[in-house]
Amino acid sequence: MHKTMRRMIAILALAASTTAAAESATAPELTAEQIIEKNVAASGGLEAWRKVQTMIWVGHMERPGAPMSSMPFVLQQKRPNKTRFEITGVGQRSLRIFDGTHGWKVRPASDGSPDVEAYTPQEARFARGEQVIDGPLIDYQAKGTTVRLEGIEEVDGRKAYGLSLKLASGEHHEVWIDSQTFLDLKYIRTSYSSAGAPGTVSITYGGYKDIGGLQIPSVLEIGTASGKVPDKMVIERIALNPPMDDRVFRRPGRPSRRQMVTIEATPASGAPIFPSRPATPPAVNPDPGSGPR
């Protein structure tokens, strides 16, 4: 064989092997099911999260440019998808409640009495799609979610597995799992404006802590496609499985002491307080006048 031809063949073979090596370095070596198994195990295990039936988060929201740079909140959650979110800003408290089917927003009226407004159909749809207590990958099959592996990409400087989720509702969400720790890095889901216009909200997780064998984020950055600086949700402490009456999720009237949650309160005996794994927090607009949406 001519020397020049042999050299060309050698160069082409080297190029092909280099390309194959580069592709294998970025191609996922695991299936979507295996990635989810590792994610669930890394976060504490399936059985541990199944045992959590109620949860209370206590913390504060940080929003650049807001009248109050730090706004305290209390979020009560109860399976399967009941939520009650209360946030304080500029001397006023706003409340949003979802009982699993219907939701209500409460804002102070001009005379100081509560102004109660029902959720729009879009807000109710958003609330029904919330992953209360655990994340989108915990018991995903039981929730009717199907998952497809999209590949590996870089998220905030870390290589992550990108997973595409199709929920039972038909909506498509995305989640990225750290390829080294197998913990959640980022989650993007559908959101809706008060006028019903669809959009997206992204949640980036940070500040993971090893607490009782659970790897748990304590800081969540919540942003939209608008490009604005994301809001920050700081989870300071949480009560697991505290007694929680369904009445706190009913349509609100005038707030009573029974309905109010004191931020400094301790949970029932035996319920630990610590930052928890809020894998999919409610997408919140920390404007005291509107609360989470």
Note the residue count of the chain. Answer: 293
Longest dimension (CA), the chain: 95
Of these ranges, 173-177, 194-198, 279-283, 285-289, the one predicted with the greatest mean pLDDT is 173-177
pLDDT digits (tens, 9 = 90+) for 166-181: 988 888 899 999 999 9
- 45-103 pLDDT tens trace: 999 888 889 988 899 999 877 777 789 999 999 998 899 999 988 777 889 999 999 99
Instruction: Check whether 211 has a pLDDT greater than 70.
Output: no
Residue ranges with strand state E in 25-129 = 54-62, 70-78, 82-89, 92-98, 103-108, 114-118
Asked whether the predicted pLDDT for residue 262 surpasses 80, the reply is no
Lowest-confidence segment of 36-40, 124-128, 233-237 by average pLDDT: 124-128
**Closest by alpha carbon to 203, among 218, 186, 217?**
186
8 A C-beta contact, residue 132 and residue 78: yes
pLDDT at 281 exceeding the cut of 60: no
Decide if pLDDT at 5 tops 80.
Answer: no
- As a whole number of angstroms, the distance between CA 72 and CA 93 comes to 10
Please name the residue that has the structure tokens 């305290």. Answer: 72
84 in Cβ contact with 99 (< 8 Å): no
The tokens describing 74, both together, are 């209390």
